[in-house]
């Protein structure tokens, strides 16, 4: 894996991108991607969209709009891996592998699921009424998105922090069950940009397509101005001092302004600037800030074939990482080729039978010991100390008698027992695979030859 910090984020394709998406996810992600020490993965979360939306045309349109938004915002696809989630078949397969180790109790605590249950209970419905397995298993799919590429940092809004933590829990569980001393998955961390993590919408709640309170990011000037005019404010008249710290309008202005512009706007609100003029100032700021990107966005929307080509190139880059990694994970859980398994076993048997040998020696204290060496001279077993050579010889003969071996593994080593007593130990191997191969070679070496 790369030594650079991997950053990964995505946006669900269920609607037209809005200011909250841009300020809370897209803009900080694009800025982070320009770091020479960053290895960035950005994607369209269209599998996630199926959980929230059953309108195929809306999802299709949203995928196009969000792809164009990333590129218009300045994402350099030559520097990053930019792809659609649904173009990476390894992601749903990893989702199933993770589902098989994810604790139901963990998923029961997911905020989205609990909120849906609470809403049902408030209205007297069955707790799980209208709740799909897609919604319930959402955190596992998100874990697969993150863990597939071993992301170190995941830029998210505060409402998504729990999902990153759950990805850590699920990844740790998989490592524990199947890693055999190897850490397959890196533990991700949520990355929050405090000042703009969550923008308010027109009504003061979080800007969200679900609340229908958004300001479209690349709409025409008139549409943006109309949306801004609907921002809820208090009833203070022009000339009366306004409270910037409790103003949704000021929060939006501050997210796109320079520190100097924000200070000036704050002073004007405290000085009695009317809400109508304040909304006009916000429109002018956003129109100036987003005008060039808006033009590029509309050009991209008119060339969907170009967008498709870009995403297919990104999918190829992503799968160059995902495919070999998933093969490794399949091996770890036991989904292995029968052919390879037979070939490995046959090769191990041939090598062990050809050159495995016992070497006896005497220690300085007068005790006797022996080693069992593999085909390449690697030490498979070192015996315990015996009082005399005769006893050591009897043990070696008993080991070669063909009786079933009592082999006990301990982390990255193993021991051999006879009649309830340990008679020898292996060295520590580099990993569990090497240890298991040595055990197989030991068994083959101690199997009597057949005529």
Instruction: Write the Ramachandran bin of 411: left for phi over 0, alpha for psi from -120 to 50, otherwise beta.
Output: left
Helix, strand, coil shares of the chain as percentages rounded to 5?
55, 15, 30
366 is in an annotated binding site: no
**CA-based end-to-end distance of the chain:** 48
Tell whether 175 is in a known binding site.
no
**Alpha-carbon gap, residue 57 to 41, rounded angstroms:** 26
12 is in an annotated binding site: yes
Angle between helices 56-72 and 275-301 (to 10 degrees): 100
Burial of 145 (0-12, 13-18, 19+ CB in 10 A): buried
Q: How many residues does the chain have?
A: 451
Asked whether residue 20 is marked as a ligand-binding residue, the answer is yes
Query: Pairing between strand 5-12 and 38-45?
Result: parallel
**Is 276 annotated as a binding-site member?**
no
**319 appears as a binding residue in the annotation:** no
Consult the annotation and say whether 199 binds a ligand.
Answer: yes
Q: Annotated binding residue at 208? A: yes
Tell me whether residue 132 is annotated as binding.
no
Q: Pick the closest to residue 166 from 89, 97, 105, 92 (CA basis).
A: 105
159 is known to lie in a ligand binding site: yes
- Residue 135 CA to residue 48 CA, distance in Å, equals 9
Is 233 within any annotated ligand binding site? no
Rg (Cα) of the chain, in Å, rounded? 31
206 is in an annotated binding site: yes
Annotated binding site: 12-14, 20-21, 145, 157-159, 199, 206-210
Annotated binding site for ATP: 12-14, 20-21, 157-159, 199, 206-210
Annotated binding site for L-tryptophan: 145
């Amino acid at each position: 894996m790369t030594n650079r910090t991997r950053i990964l984020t995505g946006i669900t394709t269920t609607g037209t991108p809005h200011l909250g998406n841009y300020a809370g996810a897209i803009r900080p992600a694009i800025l982070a991607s320009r770091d020479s020490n960053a290895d960035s993965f950005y994607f369209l979360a269209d599998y996630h969209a199926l959980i929230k939306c059953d309108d195929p045309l809306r999802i299709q349109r949203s995928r196009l709009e969000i792809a164009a938004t990333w590129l218009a915002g300045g994402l350099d696809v030559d520097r990053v891996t930019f792809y659609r989630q649904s173009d990476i078949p390894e992601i749903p397969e990893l989702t199933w592998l993770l589902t098989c180790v994810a604790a139901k109790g963990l998923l029961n605590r997911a905020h989205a699921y609990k909120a849906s249950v609470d809403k049902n209970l408030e209205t007297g419905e069955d707790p799980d009424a209208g709740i799909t397995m897609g919604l319930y298993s959402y955190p596992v799919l998100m874990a697969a998105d993150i863990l597939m590429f071993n992301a170190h940092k995941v830029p998210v809004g505060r409402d998504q922090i729990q999902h990153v933590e759950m990805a850590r829990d699920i990844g740790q569980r998989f490592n524990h069950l199947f890693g055999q001393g190897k850490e397959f998955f890196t533990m991700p961390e949520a990355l929050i940009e405090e000042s703009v993590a969550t923008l308010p919408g027109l009504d003061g709640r979080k800007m969200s397509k679900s609340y229908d309170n958004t300001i479209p990011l690349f709409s025409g000037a008139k549409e943006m101005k109309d949306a801004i005019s609907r921002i809820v404010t208090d009833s203070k008249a022009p000339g009366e001092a306004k409270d910037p710290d409790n103003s949704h309008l000021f929060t939006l202005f501050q997210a796109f302004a320079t520190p100097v512009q924000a200070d000036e706007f704050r002073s004007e609100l405290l000085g009695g600037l009317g809400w109508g003029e304040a909304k006009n100032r916000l429109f002018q700021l956003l129109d100036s800030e987003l005008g060039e990107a808006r033009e590029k966005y509309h050009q991209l929307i008119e060339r969907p074939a170009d967008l498709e080509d870009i995403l297919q190139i990104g999918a190829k880059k992503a799968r160059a990482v995902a495919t070999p990694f998933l093969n490794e994970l399949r091996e770890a859980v036991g989904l292995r080729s029968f052919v390879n398994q037979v070939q490995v076993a046959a090769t191990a048997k041939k090598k062990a039978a050809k050159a495995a040998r016992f070497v006896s020696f005497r220690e300085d204290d007068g005790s006797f010991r022996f080693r069992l060496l593999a085909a390449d001279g690697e030490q498979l077993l070192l015996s315990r100390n015996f009082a005399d050579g005769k006893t050591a010889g009897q043990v070696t003969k008993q080991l070669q008698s063909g009786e079933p071996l009592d082999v006990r593994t301990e982390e990255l080593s193993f021991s051999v027992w006879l009649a309830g007593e340990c008679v020898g130990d292996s060295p520590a191997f580099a990993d569990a695979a090497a240890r298991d191969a040595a055990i197989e070679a030991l068994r083959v070496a101690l199997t009597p030859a057949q005529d």
